[in-house]
Amino acid sequence: MGLTIDPSNRVTIGQVADAARNGDHVAIDERAWARIDASRALLDGFVDDGRIIYGVTTSVGGFADRFVPASDAQQLQENLIQAVATNVGSYLDEKTTRAIMISRLVSLSLGNSAIRPENLRIYLAILNAGIVPCIPEKGSLGTSGDLGPLAYVAMVSTGKWKAYHNGEIVSGAEALQRAGIESANLSYKEGLAMINGTSGMVGIAVLTYSSARALVDIYHAITALSVEGLAGIVDPFRPEVHRVKPHRGQLASANTIFKGLHDSKMARSESDIEAELAVRRAGRSHTVPAGTEKLAIEDAYSIRCTPQILGPVLDSLDWIETTIENELNSTSDNPIVLPDIGRAFHNGHFHGQYISMAMDHLAIALTTVTNLANRRVDRFLDQSNSNGLPAFLCQENPGLRLGLMGGQFMTASVTAENRALTVPMSIQSLSTTADFQDIVSFGFVAARRAREILRNTVYVVAFELMCACQAVDIRGGAAGLSSWTRVLYEKVREIVPYLDQDVTITDYLEALAEFLLGDEVSTLLTVPSGGDVDA
């Protein structure tokens, strides 16, 4: 199974994410090649006519006022890709680099960039041969496109720099030789076409968003399990409650949780709580369960306000998805050469503000989830707030054992780290290139940072999930769980046992994090039907 890029149909985030993760074969639909060729032919005509076009008959960046004859085109393009390849730090992983390359192919296949078809075919062949250029992760402004990150791919296409191939790092020349691919010879505009776009940040955004969306979806099941583990009240999630505040995300979040809890025997109803409190008020209750002396008619905000907290997250994710897909399906370089109207335009399509702001919003959304999970962890571990659970979920030998006390050290630390990381990157503009690039997006940085925040979020969520399952067992086991949450509980118990002795939980948390970020989690997302729950 592979991905065919057809410019007449939008390429989706899911298609790129799957192809990048699975190493799928990528093709460009034959109908695209005619426009790609026409764009190049149009530019060739402009050059023959002596037109002055940026990056074609002029130099680039701070030297845009210098003329360059067509006879020096190859040298200029090679100098360009090597001069801007100044990134530093660890290399991006292979999946991320494939996502970046696919994103660039989608943009170039629109046929507005005047790259020669033969060089675009080389780019495509490199991807399909499993050659993955080494891209240092730090150093992109994300504004004249992701010049640095994309330049490493362009260099490998010309037989320079280095790349992963079959699990080892080799020179670009050797990688091409192994795959039987001729190196590209770049003419005017072609180096610029390869690097002057937002595909670097888009590639990272595609993978990060895809995983973040799946995590938020499964977090609704984790929420339902936490409601059960904390003996929470289900009525605040009823759809009729949320119809009077018609935010789309809030309605969807409440509906999902309510449906998921429809057959739970561990979550409680408001009427049950009211009846018990009435008995206590009348002085007739003689058997108040230990730990429930503070029984209240409503739960704390971290339970009761979940739809009002996750609702904005869902609405933000919808906007983020649209933004990423729009950018993915865009011509994002400069100049553009439009064969349908026979003109070339200088423009700013390479500017990454859309993705930068979208990734900042994703960082905020994920940190919101982290805050919520962190507060739930505290309720599980604090005996005075857990509706009858033992301190630190330590049922056996408390005091001699510490239970899950130590896990909160991690969640507090990681939550604080996420909060610090959520300071927006999209407003951190710095001027460069003799004030030519005088306002920049840092979209590549924003995308990398959102990816880091995602990983941190998963750890906190994983520990909440561990606490919820521990609490369920303390309350008598899985028999009282809803049909939805029981599937999740049983999967967790394949990874983490009930903890009746103190052990390091690091490996368990890492395994849970991998599960929550993996493909298998999608099988748990179907919410069972039940009750009158149309929102």
The residues annotated with a catalytic role in the active site are: 54
Q: What is the DSSP string of 82-107?
A: HHS---EEEEPPHHHHHHHHHHHHHH
Over its C-alpha atoms, the chain yields an Rg (Å, rounded) of 27
Plot region of 481 (φ>0 → left; ψ -120 to 50 → alpha; else → beta): beta
Distance CA 4, CA 11 (A): 9
- Report the alpha-carbon distance of residue 6 to residue 26 in Å, rounded: 11
Strands 3-5 and 26-28, by their bridges, are parallel
Which amino acid type is present at position 183?
A: S
Token pair of 219 as six digits: 């977090």
Tokens at residue 304, please? Answer: 């009761």
DSSP conformational letter for 183? P
What count of other Cβ atoms lies within 10 Å of the Cβ of residue 340? Answer: 11
Q: CA-to-CA distance for 154 and 16, rounded, in angstroms?
A: 20
* Assigned token pair, 104: 């660039």
Closest-CA residue to 54 (of 189, 197, 198, 190):
189
Return the residue matching tokens 């649209």: 322
Cβ atoms within 10 Å, residue 479: 9
Measured CA to CA, the distance from residue 160 to residue 171 in angstroms comes to: 7
Between CA 29 and CA 111 the distance in angstroms is 12
- Alpha carbons 335 and 501: distance in angstroms, whole number: 65
